[in-house]
A and B are shown apart, each in its own frame.
Chain A
Amino acid sequence: MMATPRRIQSPKTARPSIGLMIFAIAYLVFLYLPVLFLPVFSLNDSAFIKFPLEGFTTRWYDEALSDQNMIAALMNSLKVGAISAVSATFLGLLAAKAVTRYRMRGAGTAMGVIMLPLFIPEIVLGISMVLLFDAVDLPLSLVTVTIGHIMLTVPFAMAVLIARMDGFDKSLEEASLDLGESAWMTFWRVTFPLVLPGIVSSLLLTFIVSFDEFLIAFFLGGTDMTLPVYIWSQLRFPAKLPSVLAMGALILVASCVLVVLAEWLRRRGVSDEAKKGAIGI
């Protein structure tokens, strides 16, 4: 891929690329500008979300961080996110290893089932799980939200980890077995260190998906609220908006940091392998 020549544009096509670049930059503005209003107004010294801006303040952040209900919701989200991320990454790792290392009958179907949540509207996932938990008399709570989030995030973990597992030579694990290590020790001495960037990336991404998820938490939470559900409940009260914006801005910044970290790990890992492959063969 890297070796294929890229420079095929004749001088004539250079101009459209400038047009494309302007369009691309305009698109980035369209992508980011609306979201940037959240931090802007969260720092605005006015109870109303409107222009003109009144002046700089951090009091909405103080208000948000002293709102006990919001902090409780934040804690709930952190708990659900952490458990979901660890569970989904663990389950995704098992499935990714199975799919990439064994010739299995029906592997395609099994993969399809695991990836299905990406293709079903969340409302359908949410209500169907409400029916199930009602049928088995499991009261709606953070536990049910966590189960829902694990199901929702396993596909993301799978996608990241399969790419990572495919990225390194299968015979490395065979070499370890061949040199006398058990399957378990092979996992710890070879597979785990090599998949580690993928695991971290998967943990971060699944955490973010769970942490930001609203609809399933809304249906499955019962009286327990995650942060998005709490924010949703506060959107009706104009007086609460500035502090909601403050919390929203914090979430956005935190998500951005985690995403950049996760993506950096994921891509760095992949390109490392590609480089090694190029040298080795």
Chain B
Amino acid sequence: MATSAISQSASQSAGTGARGGLRAWFLRSENARGYALMGPTLVIMFIALAAPLILLLLYSFWTQEGYTVNTTLTFDRYFDIFVNDTSENRLFWTLFQRSVSISGVVTLVTVLLAYPIAYYVAFHVKKYKFLWLILLTIPFWTSYLLRVFAWKIILGYQGVINSGLQSLGIIDAPLEFLLYNPTSIVITLAHAWAAFAILPIYVSLEKIDRTLLEAAADLGDGPWRRFWRITFPLSMPGVISAAVLIFVPTTGDYVTPELVGGTQGKMLANLIQIQFGKSNDWPLGAALALSGLAFVGLIVVFTVAAFRAAVSRVR
């Protein structure tokens, strides 16, 4: 008994020195405790996200020489893309313009189609809200590849529409313009990304305090004015995040142009993939990817700012 009491008091007095101090510091520092808890997650994200992106940046300043990479830093890749009269230069701008315009149209169409649905579910559906939300959410989680492939089946030369119209005797020969062009990409993407637009817009609409609309009605606004002056501006965060969530990933989409785009529908991602496949020029692929990402980022920043400014004029 006596010895254990002594050793206990000894360890306690030692504890108040270094160990107790460290323990006390850990207890009182929420930063330390928070980051200790978050540490594993951040480490994984660093390994699988940050480090690869840093390496991607490095690669874009290197040069492919046969099967090896010359790691002398150089801006040549970017010069090839932006300045020199090379095939990369022409291809990059053609595909970049096509990617951005296809994604722009997709974003616009998707958001315009999704807004009324989100509005309907947020404001008019009362009893079966949950059912509607589930119905609108399911496609969001199902296989992207299969959803895109479904359109190939529908629009194809021997596809649903052509064979259907033919068997009904409406047309004699398959319609060739259905598949393998930018329009087929737009239709496919607008379908594939629908849920991404509906959910954020729905959330922002649902959050609107209904008494604001009552106040507007009380102050003499009719339904359309109420929508334009209250609902629409307050739903902007949802519209903007929907647009960004669709625009950025679709500019980099690979599957859709590959499956339904044809030769006239190739996009930036297909060119990047080629650098990692057939052409085997990783530095060029890295530079193309980063250039595309940077320009898309700039476009997003400016468009969102312009859009916000326009909406803030609504009084």
Question: Do A and B touch (CB < 8 Å)?
Answer: yes
Chain A residues with a Cβ under 8 A of chain B: 4-6, 8-10, 12-13, 16-17, 20-21, 23-24, 27-28, 30-32, 34-35, 37-38, 41, 48-52, 87, 91-92, 94-95, 97-99, 101-105, 107, 110, 113-114, 116-125, 127-132, 135, 147-148, 150-151, 154, 205, 208-209, 212-215, 219, 228, 231-232, 235, 248, 251-252, 255-256, 258-260, 263-264, 267
Q: How far is the CA of A104 from the CA of B143 in the complex (A)?
A: 37
In the complex, 27 of the A-B residue pairs with CB atoms within 8 angstroms, ordered by the A residue number, are A5-B211, A17-B124, A28-B135, A49-B159, A51-B166, A95-B41, A99-B38, A102-B31, A104-B35, A113-B50, A122-B252, A123-B289, A131-B286, A132-B47, A132-B52, A151-B44, A151-B48, A208-B142, A212-B144, A215-B254, A228-B143, A235-B149, A255-B142, A259-B134, A260-B138, A263-B137, A267-B130
Contact of A50 among B50, B143, B159 (CB under 8 A): B159
Q: How far is the CA of A110 from the CA of B46 in the complex (A)?
A: 11
Cβ-based interface call for B301 (8 A): no
Cβ-based interface call for B213 (8 A): yes
B134 to chain A: which residues have CB within 8 Å? 259-260, 263-264
Cβ-based interface call for B305 (8 A): no
A147 to chain B: which residues have CB within 8 Å? 47-48
Which of A10, A52, A97, A132 has the most CB atoms of chain B within a 10 A radius of its CB? A132
Closest to A16 in B: B223
Q: Mark B229-261, 1 if CB is under 8 A from A, else 0.
A: 000000000000000110011011111000100
Q: How far is the CA of A107 from the CA of B40 in the complex (A)?
A: 15
Contact of A131 among B144, B282, B293 (CB under 8 A): B282
Task: Name which of B13-21, B88-96, B176-184, B268-276 contacts chain A.
Answer: B268-276
Q: Mark B30-51, 1 if CB is under 8 A from A, else 0.
A: 1101110111111011011111
Closest to B248 in A: A119
Interface of B is mostly: helix
Closest to B285 in A: A127
Q: Work out how many contacts link A and B, with CB atoms closer than 8 A.
A: 261
A193 → B minimal CB distance (Å)? 19
A89 → B minimal CB distance (Å)? 11
How many residues from B make CB contacts under 8 Å with A?
A: 89
Are A13 and B158 in contact, CB atoms less than 8 angstroms apart? no
A144 → B minimal CB distance (Å)? 10
Are B56 and A128 in contact, CB atoms less than 8 angstroms apart? yes
Given contacts A118-B245, A123-B289, contact A212 B120 (CB under 8 A): no
Q: How far is the CA of A210 from the CA of B59 in the complex (A)?
A: 28
Task: Name which of B1-9, B76-84, B111-119, B307-315 contacts chain A.
Answer: B111-119
Are B38 and A110 in contact, CB atoms less than 8 angstroms apart? yes
Cβ-based interface call for B151 (8 A): yes
Q: How far is the CA of A21 from the CA of B121 in the complex (A)?
A: 9
Cβ-based interface call for B108 (8 A): no
A208 to chain B: which residues have CB within 8 Å? 141-142
Given contacts A23-B120, A124-B252, contact A129 B293 (CB under 8 A): no
Are B144 and A219 in contact, CB atoms less than 8 angstroms apart? no
Which of A20, A27, A105, A124 has the most CB atoms of chain B within a 10 A radius of its CB? A124
